[in-house]
Amino acid sequence: MDAAVEELGRLPDGTVDVPRQWQQVGWYAEGPRPGEAGPAVLLGHVDSKAGPAVFYRLRELRPGDRVEVVTATGAALGFVVRRVARYPKDEFPTDEVYLPTLRREVRLVTCGGTFDRGSGHYRDNVIAFAEAA
């Protein structure tokens, strides 16, 4: 899949904002950019009520798969997936995802697990951890 990237911040309740559009990827702009030292966090929806969204197949990623981020200047940055894991949102691994590292890394975040019809949200997040190729 191939998607455009928008900038995201935090919401007033301290949670991370998410992309406005189902087919768009969001970059958490208070963290590093892809290609800089540290974990660049990219978020995308798994689905909408109408069907699959941009990160619908994120959970299919496997260690060794490649992810490419193309910057505004057209440079293609390659990353290799190290692991993909699912976490309940109330046990979200904030340190693992956001805490700065000194390596060039990206995290791809979407939803997964069971859907809570009461809240209208999935209970889990699926996260792919990737490092510069």
Partner 1 sequence: MSHPLSTHAPAAAGPRVQTTAVELRSGLQMLLGEHVRLTVVLMRERIAGVDERTQATVVSVDRNADELSAVIGELYGKDAAASFGQLWAAHVRQLQDYAAGLVDRDEAAKQQARSRLQVTEGDIGRLLSSAVQAALTPEQVEDAIRMHVDTLLAQADAYAAKDWTRAYEVGRECFSHMLMTADVLAGPIAASQGLPVTELQAPRRLLQSALSRLLAEHMGLMVEAMRAAADRAPELQAATTTLNANTSELATAMRALYGDIAARRFLQVWAGHVEGLVAYATATAGGDEGARSSSGEALDRFAGEIGAFLSTATDGRLPAAELTAAVTAHDRDLTSLTDAWAAKDFSRAQELSASGYRHMFTLAETLAEAVGDEVAAGLPRGGAQTGGGGTVGES
Check if the beta carbon of residue 56 is closer than 8 Å to that of residue 46: yes
Residue 25 sits at φ, ψ, to 5 deg, of: -100, 140
Kindly state whether residue 10 participates in binding partner 1, applying the rule CB under 8 A: yes
Kindly state whether residue 101 participates in binding partner 1, applying the rule CB under 8 A: yes
Kindly state whether residue 117 participates in binding partner 1, applying the rule CB under 8 A: yes
Kindly state whether residue 84 participates in binding partner 1, applying the rule CB under 8 A: no
Q: Which C-beta is closer to partner 1: that of 69 or that of 126?
A: 126
Check if the beta carbon of residue 126 is closer than 8 Å to that of residue 88: no
Residue 112 sits at φ, ψ, to 5 deg, of: -170, -170
Contact letters (x/-) for partner 1, 22-41, by CB under 8 A?
Answer: x-----x-x-x---xxx---
